[in-house]
Amino acid sequence: MSAGRRRWLIRLGLLAVALLVAVVVVRLVGEVDWGAVRDALGKLTWWHPLVLLVVLLVRQVLNALPLALFIPGITPYRATVNDQAAILMVTVAPPPSDLALRIAIFGSWGVPAARAVAGTVMNTLTFYVVRFAAPGVGFVLLLVLGQPPGPRWFELLSVAVSLTIVVGVVLVVRSEPLALAIGGGAGRLVRRVRRSVDPEAWARSCAEFRHDVAGRFRHGFPRSLLALAGMLAVDLALLALCLRFVGVERGEVGFAAVAVAYLFAYPFTLFPLSGLGVVDALVLAALVEAGGHQVEAAALAGLVVWRVFTVAGPMLLGLVALALWRRGVRSASAS
């Protein structure tokens, strides 16, 4: 079986698991009144999508900002174009198609491939730090609200993953011998299940990665974390707006309850299509727990709108980004 086909099967398997979890959670929440869901969607007016589109654009710019912080010569605009095109590619084709497209786009702007790969890896690692740290903010919010975590304690594992990534990245960047040791150790570990892996090549790659990011790490890493934390805040605001626009009132489910639901569900965006199905089911269950069954239909309608903008929206923006990049390449060739 080819590597590409194996990756597709893994993605389809994860998507099937996500959908199964979604079905189970929704059934536990209760029977959905789809007529009430349609009525809630009918509350949307012509200006609501415009507001949501502006918020989405801010979200996507913040999401791409680490690329500009880690790769010299890349502006926030170019980082956003590159990121949107890669998001589209990873949705329609298996990895590493998105990385290949990223390198091609960066190369057309004069960025060496090694530096482009290093910046992309740091962008990914920073995002994973923020993704898995989200429940930590949720625990703080529960403490402020005086609410018990309940079964959410298991998400401390997510926070531990985030801290492990931070420690690993800092250790690699600070010491070349340690980078060689970590790369070689990881290569030997992976070689136990994949004989084609060369631990020495992994060690060299880890050292080269350290060389490419060390110069911009001190200011780039904390600012990237801040940018992606801002992205999470904007995404949360987008979800809250979607819920309010379809009739989930503040008196029924307050913003704090929406934030708790979102933050504890966010690590599950690890599943395909940003956790489509499983994240929505977990958020829905938390919203119903906070506001009662009377908010279920409107909450589900709000989640539908949120997913249209956060899943389909970036794909459409990816098409626009590809068109802008190709036009820029043609203009540069013509001149």
Q: Which of 217, 220, 204 is nearest to 66 (CA)?
A: 220
Please tell me the predicted confidence (pLDDT) of residue 160. Answer: 96
Q: Answer yes or no: is 102 within a domain.
A: yes
**Percent of the chain predicted with pLDDT > 70:** 87
**Mean predicted lDDT score pLDDT of the chain:** 86
Q: Answer yes or no: is 201 within a domain.
A: yes
Q: Answer yes or no: is 166 within a domain.
A: yes
- For residue 160, the enclosing domain spans 35-328
Whether the pLDDT of residue 23 is over 60: the answer is no
Secondary structure of the chain as H, E, C letters: CCHHHHHHHHHHHHHHHHHHHHHHHHHHHCCCCHHHHHHHHCCCCCCHHHHHHHHHHHHHHHHHHHHHHHCCCCCHHHHHHHHHHHHHHHHHCCCCHHHHHHHHHHHHCCCCHHHHHHHHHHHHHHHHHHHHHHHHHHHHHHHHHCCCCHHHHHHHHHHHHHHHHHHHHHHHHHCHHHHHHHHHHHHHHHHCCCCCCCHHHHHHHHHHHHHHHHHHHHHHHHHHHHHHHHHHHHHHHHHHHHHHHCCCCCCCCCHHHHHHHHHHHHHHHHCHHHHCCHHHHHHHHHHHHHHCHHHHHHHHHHHHHHHHHHHHHHHHHHHHHHHHHHHHHHHHHHC
Identify the residue with better confidence: 187 or 167. 167
Identify the residue with better confidence: 274 or 229. 229
Q: Answer yes or no: is 12 within a domain.
A: no
Whether the pLDDT of residue 10 is over 90: the answer is no
Which band of pLDDT confidence, cut at 50, 70 and 90, is reported for residue 273?
A: confident
Number of domains in the chain: 1
Q: Answer yes or no: is 17 within a domain.
A: no
Spatial CB neighbours of 282, under 8 Å, sequence gap ≥ 6:
25, 261, 264, 265, 268
Which band of pLDDT confidence, cut at 50, 70 and 90, is reported for residue 35?
A: confident
Whether the pLDDT of residue 55 is over 90: the answer is yes
Q: What angle do CA 89, 95, 97 make, to 5 degrees?
A: 50
Stretch among 30-39, 104-113, 189-198, 278-287 having the lowest mean pLDDT: 189-198
Q: Answer yes or no: is 90 within a domain.
A: yes
Q: Answer yes or no: is 292 within a domain.
A: yes
Q: Answer yes or no: is 323 within a domain.
A: yes
Please tell me the predicted confidence (pLDDT) of residue 21. Answer: 54
Mean pLDDT confidence for 113-120: 83
Which band of pLDDT confidence, cut at 50, 70 and 90, is reported for residue 197?
A: low
Please tell me the predicted confidence (pLDDT) of residue 229. Answer: 97
